[in-house]
Structure 1
Amino acid sequence: MKLKIFFLLLMLGGFQSIAQKFGYIDTEYIMNKMPEYKKANEEMNQFAEKWTKDIQAKYADVEKMKQKYQQEEILLTADMKKEKLAEIDKKEEELRTLNNSIFGLNGQLFQKKKEILKPILDEIYKTSEKIARKYKLSFIFDKASDMSMFYADPKHDYTDFIMDELGLNLKK
C-alpha cells in the first residue's frame, strides 16, 4: 500500500513539473501608454483624413455630373442619354473601386496601419518573449486580440512587466 501511495505521489509530482505556465498581456493598454503609438495614431488619422477628403471630392464631382445630366436631360437624344448615364455609372463604379482599395478589408489604409504599427508591435513582442523567458511562461496571450478570454485571473497578468521593461510609466 505504501508503495502505491509513493508511486501515486511520484506521478502527481511529475505531472506538475510538466504543467505549463501561462500569462496574458493587454497590448491595447500598453500601446495607449506608448508615445510612439500616439504619434503613429496621429499619422494614421492624417492619412485617413486625406483619403476621405479625396474621395468626398470625387463623390461631389459625380453629383455635379448627375445634376448636369438632369438639367440637360430634356435636350438630349436617347443615345446621348444612354451615353451620359453610362459615363456617370462608370465614374460611380471607379469611385466604389477606389473607396474599396483605400478603406476596404486589405486596402491602403489597412496596409499603412500595419506598416506604421509594425515596429511598435515588434517591440512589444520582443519584450513579451523576454518576460516569458524571465518568468518561465510557456504562453502569453493577448487580452486585446480577437481571442476570447472570458475570465483571466489578475495574478497571470504580465502587462505591467512588459510596460516596465519598455520603460513606460505605469501611473499615467
Structure 2
Amino acid sequence: MIWRKVCLVIATIGLSALGAFSQKFGYVDTEYILSRVPEYKVAQSEIEALSLKWQEEIQQKYKEIEAEYNTLQAEEVLLTKEMKDERLAAIRKMEEDVKEYHKKVFGFEGLFFLKKKELINPIQDKIFAAVEKVAKKNRLQIVFDKSGELVMIYTDPVHDYTDFVLEELGLGDENDTIK
C-alpha cells in the first residue's frame, strides 16, 4: 500500500517534470519582419522627416541667439549698463525658450515620442497579433524575439517562426513553402 502511494507520487512528479520540459518554444526576428512591412518604412520616413524638421528649427533658433550675442557684443560700447542687462535678459529668455521647445519635442513623452508611438504602435500590434496566431496554430508556449534584448547564443532554425509570421501578415515570399 505504501509502495503504491510512493510510486504514485513519483509518477506524478515525473509527469510534472516531463510536462515542464515538454513546453514548445520558438523565436521570431521582429527587426526582419519590420523591414518587410511597407507601412513601417513609410512611418520611419515620416518620423525621420519630422525629426529633421524639428532639429533644423532648433538649430535656426540657436543661430538667431548667436547672432543676437554677436550684435550685443558689437554694440556693447554704445549701450548703458541697463540697456546691456535688458538685452542680455532677452537673449537668455530666448535660450530658455529654445531649451524648453527642445524638451517639448525630444524630451520624455515629447512630440517626437508621441508621433513615433502613434505611427509605430498599430504596426507592432498587427505583428504581435500575427505572432499570437502563429503561436496558437503551432501550439507554442513561448515565443522569443531574436532581435530583442534577449541574447541567444545558439538558435536552431527549426524553431524560427519568422516566416510563419510574415505569411500571417501576407508578406511571405511566394518562393518559400511553409509546411
CA displacement at 1:9 relative to structure 2:
5.7
* Equivalent position of 1:16 in the other structure: 18
Q: Deviations over 1:5-38 (max 9, x none)?
A: 8875664334222443332222111001111111
- SS of the counterpart of 1:153? coil
Mean CA deviation greater in 159-168 or 119-128: 159-168
* Equivalent position of 1:83 in the other structure: 86
Q: Which ranges of 4 or more aligned residues in structure 1 deviate by more than 6 Å?
A: 2-7
Q: Residue type matched to 1:25 in 2?
A: V
Q: Residue type matched to 2:72 in 1?
A: Y
| 1:1-172 mapped onto 2 (5 Å cutoff) | 8=10, 11-19=13-21, 20-145=23-148, 147-154=149-156, 155-170=158-173
Between the aligned partners of 2:68 and 2:167, the Cα distance in structure 1 is 58
Between the aligned partners of 1:35 and 1:95, the Cα distance in structure 2 is 35
Structure 1 segments unaligned to the other structure (5+ residues): none
Structure 2 segments unaligned to the other structure (5+ residues): none
Q: What is the percentage of aligned positions where both structures have the same residue?
A: 40
- SS of the counterpart of 2:41? helix
Q: Residue type matched to 1:12 in 2?
A: G
Mean CA deviation greater in 110-119 or 97-106: 97-106
Between the aligned partners of 1:150 and 1:141, the Cα distance in structure 2 is 9
Cα distance change on mapping 1:68 and 1:108 into 2, 3 Å: same
- SS of the counterpart of 1:137? coil
- SS of the counterpart of 1:105? coil
Mean CA deviation greater in 38-47 or 16-25: 16-25
CA displacement at 1:107 relative to structure 2:
1.6
Q: Deviations over 1:24-57 (max 9, x none)?
A: 2221110011111111111111211221222122
The count of aligned residue pairs is 169
**Structure 2 contact 146–152 (Cα < 8 Å) conserved:** no
Cα distance change on mapping 1:159 and 1:92 into 2, 3 Å: same
CA displacement at 1:152 relative to structure 2:
4.5
Mean CA deviation greater in 116-125 or 104-113: 104-113
CA displacement at 1:162 relative to structure 2:
0.6
